[in-house]
Amino acid sequence: MKKIGIITKKPKAVPLSGEIAQWLANRGVEVFLDADYEGENTLRSNIDKIELLMVLGGDGTILHAARFLNGRKIPILGINLGSLGFLTEITVDEIYPVMEDIIACKFETDERMMLSVDVIKKEGERSSHIVLNDVVIKGTTSRLINIETRINKEHVTTYRADGLIIATPTGSTAYSLAAGGPILYPTIHSIIVSPICPFTLTNRPVVIPDWMTVDVNVKGAEPNVFLTLDGQVNIKLNIADIVEVKRADSCIYLIKSPSRSYFDVLRTRLRWAE
């Protein structure tokens, strides 16, 4: 590894990123910092040169980094400075031993599937997006909304609910879990469809294979319905707008912790040991 990018979104991570950059430079590694820094060596202007992307922060910073890479097959090393850290597995104390292995190209990655989201407005305008965790359709008031849902063009039901979550296995431990969805091992290739507080209690989460497409159409007159992508991007939906969700062509590749398994992370983060 001779060219590494670093992304930071938390103010407390800025001094640490500087220390890491200096440590890497002392070992002959060229470092590119994210857009919050000035100069020609910014990460954004050199994204196609890097061999690895370090993320200093929490899971939200990983979600940002996944969109930032925009389909590039660049491995991501997540350093946990957040409160949960399902995706940022490496602790601050482990940074330099892990980096020694990475410079020597001694590491393994997990491939994580992503979702491709197309929003088709009733006027015909179309926009496309990529998400790692989940797609959420939800109203902003206390009213139930009607969400017509089709899977592979076959009518499933029209949910009367607070909203609907379409999640990847990576996102199964996020909002979908809070809505009663299952935990899926992150490298399984499946999609979870979870209603949020459905009026009909027999409307339960459904797991479908990753080759299927989910089409959603908001019905009724509720004026304040939004599509939220990975909890970070909001798009207002109007009546007759269609949201198409399917597996994306691209994936992200997370560097695995050398000292703990996914179940170690799960047990710690969900406090199963207490």
- For the domain that residue 230 is a member of, what is the CATH number? 2.60.200.30
Do 145 and 168 fall into the same domain?
yes
The answer to whether residue 50 is domain-embedded is yes
Residues 46 and 102 placed together within one structural domain of the fold? yes
Q: What is the pLDDT of residues 112-133, one digit of tens each?
A: 999 999 999 877 789 999 999 9
Q: Is the predicted pLDDT of residue 212 greater than 90, yes or no? A: yes
Residue 274 lies in a domain: no
138 and 81 in one domain?
no
Do 88 and 123 lie in a common domain? no
7 and 133 in a single domain? The answer is no
Respond yes or no: is residue 230 known to be catalytic.
Answer: no
Are 16 and 95 within one domain?
yes
**Res 226: pLDDT:** 93
Query: What's the pTM value of the predicted model, to 2 decimals?
Result: 0.91
- Over range 172-185, report the average pLDDT: 94
Q: What is the mean pLDDT of residues 226-242?
A: 92
Asked if 215 and 238 touch (Cβ cutoff 8 Å), the reply is: no
Which residue among 34, 36, 59, 249 is the active-site one? 59
Give the other-Cβ count within 10 Å of 109's Cβ. 15
Residue-number span of the structural domain to which 149 is assigned: 114-249
Domain count, the chain: 2
**Residues 230 and 137 occupy one common structural domain:** yes
Q: Do residue 127 and residue 237 come from a single domain?
A: yes
Q: How many other C-beta atoms can be found within 10 angstroms of the C-beta atom of residue 136?
A: 25
Q: What is the pLDDT of residue 38?
A: 52
* pLDDT tens by residue, 54-109: 999 888 899 999 999 988 999 999 998 866 678 888 888 889 999 999 998 899 99
Same domain? For 86 and 136 the reply is no
CATH number for 33: 3.40.50.10330
Query: Does 122 fall in a domain?
Result: yes
Nearest to 213 by CA among 153, 169, 156: 153
Residues 142 and 92 in one domain: no
Domain membership of residue 201 (yes or no) is yes
Same domain, 96 and 147: no
Residue range 163-177: mean pLDDT, rounded: 96
CA 258 and chain centroid, separation: 22
Q: Kindly tell me if the per-residue pLDDT of 265 is higher than 80.
A: yes
In-domain check, residue 196: yes
Which among 181, 213, 211 has a CA at the least distance from the CA of 194? 181
Q: Does one domain contain both 245 and 136?
A: yes
